[in-house]
């Protein structure tokens, strides 16, 4: 079975948690596409060459979840040639047999516009910054400033800006417990799968 779940949203909204849970529930493969960009940023050197030479082992680096890697990812993701080099990788993953869940910032709008399910997971900047601060520590006000800066860069870039696909189901996790957000996503996917039978 080929079935793609595209999950988009800003940093720390909960899309990775939801993506992993949906993949586990349905036995689908999962790809956190942000790791591709984090890996390219973390490799350093020429970002286009890094993107073109990316191998699965690059996604296993221990430092890819750091705040620095996230900032580097957002910067290299704004380079059209880097994005182009990673699009084919993501599209192959999405349409592989067995089903796939991809989470990122342009999955439903650019990478997989024909995905069977599109979700847009969001939360207020303050809630997202607090979640990120709990993960990485430091000065919470600085983390909020970085979240806002990243949002502006991701939503304002010329190539594939972050936005909800027109047919995406919105899940706002600002005041929603994790289990409720996961249940909502699973319900949407199950309903769509049933509709295709």
Q: What is the 3-state secondary structure (H, E, C) of the chain?
A: CCCEEEEECCCCCCHHHHHHHHHHHHCCEEEEHHHHHHHHHHHCCCHHHHHHCCCHHHHHCHHHHCHHHHHHHHHHCCCHHHHHHHHHHHHHHHCCCCCEEEEECCHHHHHCCCCCEEEEEECCHHHHHHHHHHHHCCCHHHHHHHHHHHHHHHHHCCCCCCCCCCCCEEEECCCCCHHHHHHHHHHHHHHHHHHHC
Is residue 150 assigned to a domain? yes
Q: Which residues are annotated as a binding site?
A: 9-17
Average pLDDT score over the chain: 92
Higher pLDDT, 144 or 157: 144
Residue 103 lies in a domain: yes
- The residue among 89, 75, 165, 73 whose CA lies nearest residue 121 is 165
- Whether residue 136 lies inside any domain: the answer is yes
In the predicted model, is pLDDT for residue 9 greater than 90?
yes
Asked if pLDDT for residue 56 goes beyond 80, the answer is: no
> CB of 86 within 8 A of CB of 106?
no
Write the CATH number for 45: 3.40.50.300
- Report pLDDT digits (tens) over 74-131: 889 889 899 889 998 899 889 989 999 999 999 999 999 999 999 999 999 999 999 9
β-strands 169-172, 4-8 pairing: unpaired
Answer whether residue 195 shows pLDDT above 90. no
Number of domains the chain is built from: 1
197 domain residue, yes or no:
no
More confident residue, 75 or 159: 75
- Domain presence at residue 196: no
Q: What is the pLDDT of residue 197?
A: 78
Which residues carry a binding-site annotation for ATP?
9-17
- Please tell me the distance from the alpha carbon of residue 175 to that of residue 181, in angstroms, as a whole number: 10
């Amino acid at each position: 079975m080929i079935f793609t779940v595209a999950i988009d949203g800003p940093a720390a909204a909960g899309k990775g948690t939801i993506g992993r849970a949906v993949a586990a529930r349905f036995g689908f493969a999962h790809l956190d596409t942000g790791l591709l960009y984090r890996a390219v940023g973390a490799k350093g050197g020429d970002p286009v060459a890094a993107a073109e030479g990316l191998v699965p082992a690059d996604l296993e680096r221990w430092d890819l979840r750091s705040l620095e890697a996230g900032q580097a990812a957002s910067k290299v993701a704004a380079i059209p040639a880097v994005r182009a080099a990673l699009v084919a990788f993501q599209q192959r993953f999405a349409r592989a047999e067995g089903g796939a869940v991809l989470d990122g910032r342009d999955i439903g709008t650019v990478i997989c516009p024909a995905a069977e399910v599109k979700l847009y997971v969001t939360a207020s900047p303050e809630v997202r910054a607090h979640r990120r601060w709990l993960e990485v520590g430091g000065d919470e006000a600085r983390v909020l400033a970085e979240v806002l800066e990243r949002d502006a860069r991701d939503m304002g870039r010329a190539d594939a800006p972050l936005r909800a696909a027109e047919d995406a189901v919105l899940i706002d996790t600002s005041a929603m417990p994790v289990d409720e957000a996961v249940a909502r996503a699973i319900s949407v996917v199950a309903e769509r799968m049933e509709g295709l039978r």
